[in-house]
Amino acid sequence: MSQYLMDLLAGPTNCMCCFPGSPQLRINSRRFKLLRLLGEGGFSYVYLVQETSTSALYALKKIRCPFGQESVSLALKEVEAYALFSPHPNIIHAVDHAVESANDKSDPGSKTVYILLPYYSRGNLQDAINANLVNHTKFPERRLMVLFLGVARALKAMHQYRVKGAPGGEGARQRAKSVRAEAEEADKDAVRRAKTRRKDVDADEEDVEQEPLMNGEVTRSQEGVGDGELRAYAHRDVKPGNIMLSDSGTSPILMDLGSLAPSPTHITSRALALATQDTAAEHSTLPYRAPELFDTKTGTVIDTKTDIWSFGCTLFACLVGKSPFEMRSEETGGSLSICVLGGDWRFPDEESTASGGGRRKKTKDAKGKGKGKEDDDVADSGISDGVREVVRRCLRVEAGERPDVDEVIEMVEKVVAELPEDDGGDGERSPSRPAGSVEE
């Protein structure tokens, strides 16, 4: 709550109307009541808000854009991406957005971006993982794989996007370009304001400071790509915290497209390699980051296989409770990045085999018991062989050895078809209905 109050004081804008005990916000023509802080990170905060006219609940993302540090173009990049891939049943969409000039005399060029998003009461997969750990429960395996089928379909929409093609066609593309134009105009306005009020700033220094942070273009990367031609994108930050659960509990919703990057990226110089690593360090969460983003080499190609790696890590986390390399680095006391680069991980009931993940189950005696108390505790993790194979295929250190998204979908569909119906008994925040087709 203290951080929530500090944020209201630190970033007042023209659309913020504070009343004692009832902070309210206006976005375009709609008014909202701020209920509580849901999360924060960097320059952004996410609040639970309620529309005053309908009582509907939403998630509101507020991004402060200090001049020269966080451009509006970068902040609105995810809105641009939401528009491009909308409508898709497994990708979140932006309900509304607004850009406001901050009333900060010390930083006249600063802006505040508001992004209104759907609110999902079940939370995300990380919330479900945490609940499972607390309650000593597990995801029903078949329902979990149905959810991951939806995640794979969301990634397919990005990995195989074609200009003016599905999901939203030319209309979605034009809406995305409109967001880009709005962001660029807001950045220009920030420069004008800064020039007006900072006349004592050296012109050359100012030109450097006002350079927009154009990290990973969305619609602009389509220039020169013909209608119907492939313009692939990689999410670059697939993780449990970025996969919401629909209110029915049967569909995943992939969110936070601020890390989206055109794909493939040809690493033609050492400078580009270092820039790619720096971008990944900022936008790709460490335990789910692909090895080629830890140590990017000149002459290589970074493509959508980074998402396949993260997909495998996320599935493992849902099965075990944490990412495979978090688990392994805690077991060995070694560096997480070294574990990633060496492919050193295992399932709880397997012995580690670096550069390919665990494959040998721990040995048991004639009575089926492990050799020692530790082995008894993990003798059978209850993870089906088909599910294990999906994880193993995704976690190949060499990107070229990983399956593409079509192969992942085929593998997951096969696993779902072979798994028996779940018996129920899942935790409160786990998927709550018998498995069925992911919404199309």
The pLDDT-based confidence of 349 (bands split at 50, 70, 90) is confident
> Among 436, 439, 440, which Cα is nearest to 145's?
436
DSSP string, 345-381: ---TTEE--TTT---EEPPB-TTS-BSSHHHHHTS--
- Greatest mean pLDDT among 65-69, 235-239, 360-364 lies in 235-239
The pLDDT of residue 107 is: 59
pLDDT of residue 368: 41
Least trusted range by pLDDT, from 62-66, 209-213, 261-265: 209-213
Residue 358 is predicted with a pLDDT of: 53
State the DSSP code for 47: E
- pLDDT tier at 434 (50, 70, 90 boundaries)? very low
Among 24-33, 70-79, 293-302, name the one with the lowest average pLDDT: 70-79
* pLDDT tens digits, one per residue of 37-90: 998 877 789 999 999 999 999 999 998 887 655 578 888 888 999 999 999 999
The DSSP secondary structure of 140-170, one letter per residue, reads -HHHHHHHHHHHHHHHHHHHT-BTT-TTTHH
Highest-scoring range by mean pLDDT, 34-43, 214-223, 263-272: 263-272
pLDDT category at 114 given cuts 50, 70, 90 is very high
Is cis: bond before 87, omega within 30 of 0? Answer: yes
Q: How much is the pLDDT for 7? A: 45
Q: Which of 38-47, 230-239, 372-381 has the highest mean pLDDT?
A: 230-239
CA–CA dist 435, 422 (Å, integer): 8
pTM of the model as a whole: 0.82
pLDDT digits (tens, 9 = 90+) for 174-198: 888 888 787 777 777 767 766 665 5
Other beta carbons less than 10 A from residue 377's beta carbon: 10
First and final C-alpha spacing in the chain:
39
Q: Are 431 and 140 in contact (CB under 8 A)?
A: yes
For residue 221, CA distances in Å to 171, 177, 262 come to 17, 11, 7
Nearest-angstrom CA–CA distance, 226 and 296: 30
How much is the pLDDT for 424? 54
pLDDT at 105: 59
- Residue of higher predicted confidence among 427 and 339: 339
Torsion of CA 381, 386, 387, 391, to 10 degrees: 110
Per-residue pLDDT at 3 = 42
